[in-house]
C-alpha cells in the first residue's frame, strides 16, 4: 500500500510530523509512506477555486489521488483540528474545475495525533473523524493512537518511547491489513 502522510502542524519541531516519520519506519514491509508538506498551501477561497486550483492545491490533490490511503496527524488546537489541516481537507474535498471526483471521496484514512497534554488529541481526533466523514472519506481503524505528554516521548523529531512505537506499529498493521492478521 502507498500511503500519503499529512501533518496538520507547520512547526519545525512538530510532534505530529515526528509521528508521521516514525510511522514511515514502523510500517510493515512492502508498504510505503511519503509525507506531503502543507507549507504554502493557500487558504481556501471559492473564487480562486472557480478560476482553477493554484499549483499547491493541484499538487496536494494529485498526491492524495495517487495514494492508496492517507495517514493524518493533527495537533489539537482549542479542542479541534488545526486550521492548516482543515484548510487542506476543504480543498481536497472538492473536485475543483479540472477533476471528475474529489480526491478525498472514498479515500481510506488513518488518524494519529500527539500533544504535550494528557489527552493526546482525543478531541481533535473525534472532530477530524466527523470532518472526514462529511468529506466522504473512510476513516479506519476504529482504535486510536493518542500520544499524550508527547514532549516526554518525542525528542529531536524522533519517537523514542518504545511502548508508543509498539502501539503505532500495531495501529498501522491493522490499517494496512484490515483482517487483523499479522502474518
Ligand X SMILES: Cc1cc2nc3c(=O)[nH]c(=O)nc-3n(C[C@H](O)[C@H](O)[C@H](O)COP(=O)(O)O)c2cc1C
Binding mask 27-66 for ligand X (x = CB under 6 A): ----------------------------------------
Cα 86 to chain centroid distance, Å, stands at 11
Query: Applying CB under 6 A, does 83 fall inside the site for ligand X?
Result: no
* 135's grid cell: 468529506
Q: How far apart are CA 138 and CA 161, in angstroms?
A: 29
Rounded to whole angstroms, what are the CA distances from 54 to 60, 115, 145?
A: 10, 32, 34
Give the DSSP H or E segment for 44: none
Interface pick for ligand X out of 4, 5, 15, 174 (rule CB under 6 A): 15
> Whose Cβ is closer to ligand X: residue 96's or residue 116's?
116
Least separation in angstroms between CB 81 and ligand X: 10
> Whose Cβ is closer to ligand X: residue 39's or residue 181's?
39
Measured from the Cβ of residue 41, the count of other Cβ atoms closer than 10 Å reads 18
Among residues 13, 19, 60, 4, the alpha carbon closest in space to that of 156 is found at 13
Binders of ligand X among residues 105 to 144 (CB under 6 A) are 115-117, 119
- Which range of residues in 11-19, 45-53, 60-68, 102-110 is near ligand X by CB under 6 A? 11-19
Residues that bind ligand X (CB under 6 A): 9, 11, 14-16, 75-79, 115-117, 119
Amino acid at each position: 500500500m502507498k500511503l500519503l502522510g499529512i501533518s496538520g502542524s507547520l512547526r519545525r519541531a512538530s510532534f505530529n510530523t515526528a509521528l508521521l516519520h516514525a510511522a514511515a519506519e514502523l510500517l510493515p514491509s512492502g508498504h510505503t509512506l511519503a509525507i506531503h508538506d502543507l507549507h504554502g498551501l493557500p487558504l481556501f477561497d471559492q473564487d480562486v477555486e472557480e478560476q482553477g486550483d493554484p499549483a499547491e492545491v493541484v499538487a496536494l490533490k494529485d498526491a492524495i489521488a495517487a495514494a492508496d490511503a492517507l495517514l493524518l496527524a493533527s495537533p489539537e488546537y482549542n479542542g479541534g483540528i488545526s486550521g492548516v489541516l482543515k484548510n487542506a481537507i476543504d480543498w481536497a474535498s472538492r473536485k475543483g474545475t479540472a477533476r471528475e471526483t474529489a480526491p478525498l471521496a472514498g479515500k481510506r484514512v488513518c488518524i494519529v495525533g500527539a500533544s504535550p497534554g494528557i489527552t493526546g488529541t482525543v478531541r481533535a481526533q473525534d472532530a477530524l473523524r466527523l470532518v472526514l466523514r462529511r468529506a466522504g472519506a473512510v476513516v479506519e481503524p476504529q482504535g486510536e493512537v493518542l500520544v499524550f505528554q508527547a514532549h516526554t516521548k518525542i525528542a529531536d523529531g524522533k519517537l523514542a518511547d518504545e511502548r508508543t512505537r509498539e502501539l503505532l506499529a500495531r495501529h498501522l498493521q491493522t490499517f494496512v491489513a484490515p483482517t487483523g492478521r499479522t502474518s
